[in-house]
Amino acid sequence: MTDHDDDLELVEESAPASQEEALEAENQQLKDQVLRTMAELENYRKRAEREREEAAKYAITGFARDLLSASDNLRRALESVPEDHGDPEALLKSLLEGVSITEKELLGALTKHGVEKVEPLGAPFDHNLHQAMFEVEDHDQAPGTVVHVMQPGYRLHGRLLRPALVGVAKVKEVEKKD
């Protein structure tokens, strides 16, 4: 062997070692990237969960804020009633007016947030929107028509919150002849 052959052997022996070292370094770099990505994903998952919990917890903030003014007005109406009142008719008229205004404000707040009243009077009974509480003979209405509303129903963005409690017209019974 010549000196030149000895040099080639050294290069060949060192080449696999440096290639192996390069692969090890690349492997370590990829492991680090995977670990960082996994940590970032875990942090993202935790942050998203925290934000979801906060959104659910505080989703009704605007709604509650709007209802507070109606509550304040009810309190003012109650506090406006003097213990020693001289004119009961004027007092009653004033109280009635205050409660009426407060009801309008409350219904406005509900409407603002997508709550709509179900107005079933005169409409055909719909088991998806109404709950029949009783039946009554009514000669002016077709059977199955809502003739009395005990309690209105409400929907939130089209989804039923509470059914209307109603009385429904029934078929009049034919008198039996003996």
pLDDT in tens, 45-99: 999 999 998 888 888 887 877 778 777 878 877 777 777 767 778 878 888 888 8
Alpha-carbon distances of 123 from 68, 73, 97, 127, 141, rounded to whole Å: 34, 34, 30, 12, 10
Residues paired with 165 in a beta bridge: 131, 151
165 and 120 Cβ atoms separated by less than 8 Å: no
Amino acid at 162: R
Lowest mean pLDDT among 29-33, 70-74, 136-140, 162-166: 70-74
What angle is formed at CA 53 by the lines to CA 47 and CA 57, rounded to 5 degrees?
Answer: 145
Domains and CATH numbers, the chain: 115-178 (2.30.22.10)
pTM given for the model: 0.59
